[in-house]
Amino acid sequence: MIWHLINSIYYKAYLVLLSEHTVIQQNREHLYPAEDTISAAFIFDSGISGSASWCFVGHESAKEDRIIVIGDRGTLSFSVFNYDPIRLVTSEGLQSIIVPNPSYVQLPIITSVIHHLQE
């Protein structure tokens, strides 16, 4: 793994160069120690390429929670942090798939942490 430090007047970023992907991590607002902005480009073993970016300090008007998979027969898009409908677009049109928010999705992890702490 090769780490490069990019110095700039505006920011410092860590650039990770690996054989199959590149990741740029920045702490733009310094609200906490972790990086608040991340960009990545990657290639899966199948040869399919992808890219992603996350900015947790962007302006509210730029807020978008969406992963888009683009294929030769259509697109599939879905959210990560909320429960927007899954969208499938093909030559046959748009299909929205609603997946209900599971009740008490955090309960199993909270229960296991409590039990671990009580041991």
Stretch (H or E) spanning 39: strand 37-43
Return d(Cα 111, Cα 118) in angstroms, integer.
Answer: 11
Cβ atoms 87, 99 nearer than 8 A: no
Total-model pTM: 0.60
CA end-to-end distance (rounded Å), the chain: 39
Cβ atoms 12, 24 nearer than 8 A: no
Return d(Cα 47, Cα 53) in angstroms, integer.
Answer: 20
Residue 37: strand pairing partners = 26, 55
The pLDDT tens digits of the residues spanning 58-78 come to: 888 888 888 899 999 999 999
Cβ atoms 67, 84 nearer than 8 A: no
pLDDT at 5: 42
Identify the CA nearest to 28 among candidates 12, 43, 44.
12
Identify the CA nearest to 54 among candidates 33, 34, 77.
34
pLDDT at 90: 97
Q: State yes or no: pLDDT of 103 exceeds 80.
A: no
The pLDDT tens digits of the residues spanning 14-36 come to: 445 455 677 788 888 988 888 88
